[in-house]
Amino acid sequence: QAALLAAQRLQYRLHRAGIAWGTSGSGALCGRYPMPVMRKSQYRWQMTQPVPATTPMTGCNPTGRSSILWESLRELPAAGENFGFLLWRKRNCCLL
């Protein structure tokens, strides 16, 4: 559970530093915009390592949701085992 929390904190710091921009909402219809405070509904997380999350219950989970159910029993008792997460980002586009 600490691995997901560290990844989400890093994403928040990227927003605060101006590296990650907003891509959802009415302000992002035709491009990105600066978003110093991260919107939780813009991102979803999916575990890829060590055990991939592929079922609908454990699939893509939003930032802020408790990870007890979908991250439990996924840590293998091997030294040096790292976690991997796939970050999905919501993007609004305008169609001309």
**How confident is the model over 6-33, as a mean pLDDT?**
86
Residue 78 included in any domain: no
> Of the ranges 11-25, 26-40, 43-57, 71-85, which is most confident?
11-25
Residue 96 included in any domain: no
Residue bearing tokens 């979803």: 44
Sign of the alpha-carbon torsion through 11, 12, 18, 23: positive
Residue bearing tokens 């979908």: 70
- Give the pTM: 0.77
Residue 63 included in any domain: yes
Residue 38 pLDDT exceeds 80: yes
Return the percentage of the chain with pLDDT > 70, whole number: 90
Boundaries of domain holding 12: 2-71+83-89
Residue 95 included in any domain: no
pLDDT classification of 16: cutoffs 50, 70, 90: very high
Residue 50 included in any domain: yes
| Overall number of domains in the chain | 1
**How confident is the model over 29-52, as a mean pLDDT?**
84
Distance separating alpha carbons of residues 33 and 12, to the nearest angstrom: 15
Residue 77 included in any domain: no
* DSSP assigned state of 83: -
Task: Decide which of 71 and 88 is more confident.
Answer: 88
Please say whether the beta carbons of 53 and 46 come within 8 A.
yes
Annotate 24-81 with DSSP letters as a single string. Answer: SSGGGSSS-EE-SS--GGGEEEEEEESS---STTTS-EETTS--HHHHTT---S-TT-
pLDDT classification of 58: cutoffs 50, 70, 90: confident
